[in-house]
Amino acid sequence: MAQMVETLEQQHKTDETALITGSEAIAVACKLADVDVITAYPIRPYDTVMQYVSKLVSHGELDCEYIVAEGEHSQFEIVKHASAVGARVFCGSSGVGWMYAMEALTVTPALRIPMVAMVGNRALDDPGAFGVEHNDALTVRDLGWMLVWVDTAQEALDTALIAYRVAEDRRIFLPCAISCDGAFLTHSQALVKIPAQEKVNEFLPRYNRGDLLLHPDNPITVAPQVNEDWVMEIRRQNYAAMERTTAVIKEAYADFERIFGRSYGNPFFEEYMTEDADIVLMGMGTLSIPMKVAIRQMRKEGKKIGFVRLRWFRPFPAEALAKSLGRFKAVGVVDRDYSFGSPYMSGVVTHEVRTALYSAPGPKPPVLCFICGLGGREVTLPDITRMTESVYQAAEGKAQPLTQWIGLRE
Amino acid sequence: MSEVDFECAECTNPVEPFLRSERMPHIWCPGCGIGTTVNCFTRALIDSKANLEKLVVVSGIGCTGRVAGYLKLDSFHTTHGRAIPFATGLKLANPKLTVVVYAGDGDLSAIGGNHLIHAARRNIDLKVICVNNLIYGMTGGQTAPTTPEHATTSTNPYGTFEPGFNLPHLVDAAGAVYVARWTTFHVRQVARSMQEAFKKKGFSFIEIISPCPTLYQRRNKMGDGLDAMKYYKQASKVKNGAPTGEVGLTKTGEIAVGKFVDRDRPDYRELMVHRFHESLGDEYVETGELVCS
Ligand code: SF4
């Protein structure tokens, strides 16, 4: 017995390494964060998280209330209310499942609920497709959700811990959705460092809702009807909370580095081979995998090209990104999404990048949009070569279509 | 417009003219019961000489949801849980259609559960075929609202503890006029019930207990598709007219089958027309079939 206690204590203190998928990494983060209430409803590819969470709960490794709800709408409603009474919560979905929960997704940030959710990014129906597209998570981009895209299982685990830390910070109290590309990340395994529980406890304080706690001893009304008398002031509070997120995210990453001894550098976006680059391509999520391979290859051919991977989409790191992108002669944004009828029919990420860049002082290189890899279609090396060629042309001042669909069947 | 070609020379099976062979192979696993139900359905169409020009199949999402895409009939693969609202719209717009809802237990009783009870309450003239595999199949075998207590699923590795729905009881209580349950072992009875439902005016519900060897049978050590047939044969007991409150399912116990409810009451359209006649008298002109040019 004494030996067993010692082993458990040891476990508590040491990091471990495991071969796990992105979804499993998220489930492990739930365990480390000691989440209190989890709800689920099956939809691919998010459903993989459910299985891992179920195992942890059934094996007694995670002490939490776990319900498979009767649909995504009730799934998100249940955790929303659990959070209001002080429980740390986890939830998630994919594609149209996420859309079906939209009413709950809308009220969650408005009620300042620090829910952490995982979106296993998937194409919206119709037509039916299981593969990745980013329009699902992007639908909440204006509502007060923090949105972050990760590209490895390790980053999924770490970011989930960071997400709890930031969301539950009293200065913030906003929900955070972690986007994991369907299949490419949710289902693929990689070696992941699982941090010791002791370190996680140091990094992540208990959720304390303070005077906003819904409790018989603290009689408050949540979500009253306020009409035009108060709506603007309440919206403004959300605006102010979102404004504070940038600083709190920076703090969290700095503490993460101090406690876990691993660093992500700039929390908001990753730069790959950009130091001497003439042009860059940009995108989110697992796009980094083919991108990095292609860039290494093109570098061998003497092309000075780099890649920028955007992690945090909300808050959008406008100033920092504008400063960084201003260094290059041209930028190509790869959108795994669409925004039909929007300016120049470009994708969502492109619009944000253009606004960030063109509203800031300093150089304003051309920004091309490439719609690519929709519905889980692979982004191939020839695709990337085509995009690069076009960005080079733009860098030389030759007019290029502002939006191009790449990898489309001829 | 139905494309079924009964004269089909190359067809080797009477069911074949109903299938979109270009979409084969289908996605269903070996031993799965959904294909058997489709076989019964096509036989019911043949035997009842159903007018295929006036028949529509609406399905939800999931393994059973794929039926709509495989049938060479007017069909719609709608959003998850929304097969009944879609079918309701079809029936209201075009009352002369025979509208069949072909969906799984997850689609009909979980995410679409609200629609199920309201359509039964209103007595919308729909023929609902519910293939019940006791689990969410397509997404990996999670506990569904129909999973019997103690069954092992991917979300309850040590057995479920939530009570499952007794679907015949639910729709009976909500007002369905025809309620039957069979298993995929009872192919003739299934086809016969379908024919009865085609003729019945109002909300008809046929539950077909169907094996999911891949996720339900395997996790519960209940063998393959053939073992499921043996179990259905041995455990089923015909209980026509049984009070539906007594036909709930357990993991390994008796499966009450039969026609539980067959009654008449005015359907939604009849009630609506009656009400308008009452209040508007001769001014009310009943709309008929929707004519699409
Ligand atoms: S998963 Fe189950 S229900 Fe789905 S096709 Fe396979 S056997 Fe049938």
| Chain A environment of B158 (Cβ under 8 Å) | 58
Same domain, A185 and A124: yes
CA atoms within 13 Å, Cβ hemisphere of B58? 24
Report how far Cα A210 is from the mean position of its chain's Cα atoms.
27
pLDDT at A135 over 70: yes
Residue A223 is classified by DSSP as: S
Take atom 5 of ligand 1 and give the residue whose Cα is closest. B28
Please report the pLDDT score of residue B250 as a whole number.
97
Question: Any residues with CB less than 8 A from the CB of B16 and at least 6 apart, and which?
Answer: B8
Say whether A284 sits in a helix, a strand or coil: strand
pLDDT score at B5: 83
Distance CA B106, CA B134 (A): 8
CB contact under 8 A, A58 and B158: yes
Residue A1 belongs to some domain of the structure: no
- Of A228, A260, A292, the residue at which a domain comes to its end is A260
Task: Kindly list the distances between the CA atom of residue B152 and the CA atoms of A48, B40, B192, in Å, as whole numbers in the listed order.
Answer: 17, 29, 33
Give the percent of chain A with pLDDT over 70.
98
Nearest residue to A104 via CA among A138, A77, A71: A77
The structural domain count of chain A equals 2
Residue A133 belongs to what domain range? 11-260
- The answer on A385 and A241 residing in a single domain is no
CB B155 within 8 A of CB B79: no
Residues A277, A247 within the same domain: no
Whether A23 maps to a domain, the answer reads: yes
Closest residue by Cα to atom 1, ligand 1, is: B137
Q: Is the pLDDT of residue A21 over 60?
A: yes
* Residues on chain B touching A48 (C-beta within 8 angstroms): 140
Average pLDDT, chain A: 96
Tell me the three-class secondary structure of A365-390, residue by residue.
CCEEEEECCHHHCCCCHHHHHHHHHH
CA B196 from centroid of its chain's CA atoms = 13
- What pLDDT, on the 0 to 100 scale, is given for residue A3? 60
Mutate to test the pocket of ligand 1, among B215, B217, B219, B226 (most ligand atoms within 8 A of CB): B215
Instruction: Please list, in sequence order, all residues whose beta carbon lies within 8 angstroms of the beta carbon of residue A211, skipping any fewer than 6 positions away.
Output: A218, A220
Task: Look at ligand 1, atom 2, and give the residue with the nearest C-alpha.
Answer: B212
Please say if the pLDDT value at position A5 is more than 80: no
Helices (H), B200-264: 218-219, 225-235
Residue B256: pLDDT over 80: yes
User: What pLDDT is attached to residue A61?
Assistant: 95
| CATH number of the domain residue A279 falls in | 3.40.50.920
For residue A120, the surrounding DSSP H or E stretch is: strand A116-121
Same domain for A298 and A377? yes
Domain finish residue from A210, A228, A260: A260
Show the ligand 1 pocket: residues with CB < 6 angstroms. B 28-29, 32, 34, 63, 133, 137-138, 212-215
The pLDDT of B167-177, averaged and rounded, is: 98
Is A5 a domain residue?
no
User: What is the rounded CA–CA span in Å between residue B95 and residue B99?
Assistant: 9
Are A38 and A57 members of one domain?
Answer: yes
Give B137 Cα–ligand 1 centroid separation in angstroms: 5
The answer to whether the CB atoms of B111 and A41 lie below 8 A apart is yes
Strands A312-314 and A330-335: unpaired
Do the chains contact at A128 and B145, CB–CB below 8 Å?
A: no
A232 within a domain of the structure (yes/no): yes
**CA geometry: angle A126, B109, A121, nearest 5 deg:** 35
CB B80 to CB A97 under 8 A?
yes
Residues of B within 8 A of A47 (CB-CB) are 139-140, 142
A223-263: pLDDT as tens digits: 889 999 999 999 999 999 999 999 999 999 999 999 999 99
Looking at this protein, which amino acid is placed at residue B207? E
Give the Cα separation of A268 and A283 in Å (integer).
13
Q: How far is B148 from chain A (nearest CA, A)?
A: 15
Distance from the B276 Cα atom to the nearest Cα atom in chain A, whole angstroms: 36
> Chain A residue with minimal CA distance to B111?
A71
The three-state secondary structure class of A322 is helix
3-class DSSP state of A132 = coil
Q: Do A54 and B154 touch (CB under 8 A)?
A: yes
Residue B293 has pLDDT above 60, yes or no: no
Q: What is the pLDDT of residues A152-175, one digit of tens each?
A: 999 999 999 999 999 999 999 999
d(CA A331, CA A327): 10
A321 in any annotated domain? yes
What would the pLDDT profile of A250-300 be if each residue is shown by its tens digit? 999 999 999 999 999 999 999 999 999 999 999 999 999 999 999 999 999
Domain boundary among A213, A233, A260: A260
List phi, psi (to 5°) of B199: -85, -25
Q: Which residues pair with A116 in a beta bridge?
A: A90, A176
Q: Which atom of ligand 1 is nearest to the CA of B62?
A: 4
Contact between B125 and B91 under an 8 Å Cβ cutoff? The reply is yes
My answer on whether A216 and A276 are in the same domain is no
Q: Rounded to the nearest 10 degrees, what angle do helices A153-167 and A227-260 cross at?
A: 130
Query: Mean of the pLDDT values across residues A41-68?
Result: 94
Tell me how far the alpha carbon of residue A109 lies from the centroid of ligand 1, in angstroms: 38
Average pLDDT over residues B50-79: 94
Q: Which of A1-15, A67-81, A132-146, A356-370 has the lowest mean pLDDT?
A: A1-15
Residues of A in contact with B79 (CB under 8 A): 96, 125
The CA radius of gyration of chain A, in Å to the nearest whole number, is 21
CATH number at residue A120: 3.40.50.970
Whether residue A107 is contained in a domain is answered as yes
**Among A196-200, B148-152, B170-174, B284-288, where is mean pLDDT lowest?**
B284-288
Q: Cβ contact (<8 Å) for B154 and A58?
A: no
- Chain B interface mutation, best of A24, A48, A51, highest count of B Cβ atoms under 10 Å: A51
Identify whether residues A246 and A109 lie together within a single domain.
Answer: yes
Distance A41 CA to ligand 1 centre (A): 18
> At A6, is the pLDDT very low, low, confident or very high (cuts 50, 70, 90)?
low
pLDDT on residue A410? 81
For residues A237 and A281, membership in a common domain is answered with: no
* Nearest CA-CA distance, residue A143 and chain B, Å: 25
DSSP assignments along B131-169, one per residue: EE-SSBTTTT-B--TTPPTT---SS-TT---SPPP-HHH
Cβ atoms A402, A346 nearer than 8 A: yes
Query: How high is the pLDDT of residue B222?
Result: 96
Any CB–CB contact under 8 A between B113 and chain A? yes
A249 and A346 assigned to the same domain: no
Asked if residue A332 and residue A223 are part of one domain, the reply reads: no
Is residue A360 assigned to a domain? yes
Q: Is the separation of the CB atoms in B209 and B184 below 8 Å?
A: yes
B124 alpha carbon – ligand 1 mean position (Å): 30
Residue A4 lies in a domain: no
Closest by Cβ to A44, choosing from B111, B139, B154: B139
Q: Which residue has the tokens 């459910």?
A: A50
State the count of interchain CB pairs (< 8 A) between A and B: 53
pLDDT tens digits, one per residue of B199-239: 999 999 999 999 999 999 999 999 999 999 999 999 999 99
The residue behind tokens 């983060």 is: A29
Q: What is the distance in angstroms between the Cα of B158 and the nearest Cα belonging to chain A? A: 7
Together in a domain, A44 and A101: yes
Q: Give CATH superfamily name and number for B16-266.
A: Thiamin diphosphate (ThDP)-binding fold, Pyr/PP domains (3.40.50.970)
Give dist(CA A117, CA A163) in Å, integer: 9
Q: What is the largest CA-CA distance in chain B?
A: 65
Domain shared by A38 and A176, yes or no:
yes
Separation between Cα atoms, residue B170 and residue B262, nearest integer Å:
15
Contact criterion met (CB < 8 Å) for B143 and A100: no
Alpha-carbon distance A237 to A222, whole Å?
15
**What pLDDT sits at residue B117?**
98
The Cα–Cα gap between A139 and A338 comes to 11
Rounded Cα–Cα distance for residues A310 and A350 (Å)? 11
- Please state the rounded mean pLDDT for residues B136-162: 94
CB contacts under 8 A, A 32-91 vs B, are 40-44, 47-48, 50-51, 54-55, 58-59, 66, 68, 70-72
For residue B112, the CA-to-ligand 1 centroid distance in Å is: 20
Query: What stretch of H or E contains B206?
Result: strand B204-209
Residue B203 contacts by C-beta under 8 Å, 6 or more apart in sequence?
A: B119, B120, B122, B123, B124, B125, B126, B128, B171, B175, B176, B177, B178, B267
Q: Does B110 touch chain A (CB under 8 A)?
A: yes
The pLDDT value given to residue A12: 79
Quick: pLDDT tens for B78-100: 999 999 999 999 999 999 999 99
Q: What burial class does residue B144 get, using C-beta atoms within 10 Å of its C-beta: 0-12 exposed, 13-18 middle, 19+ buried? A: buried
Q: Which residues of A touch B69 (CB under 8 A)?
A: none
* Cβ-based neighbours of B206, under 8 Å, separated by 6 or more: B127, B128, B129, B130, B178, B179, B180, B181, B182, B190, B193, B194, B197
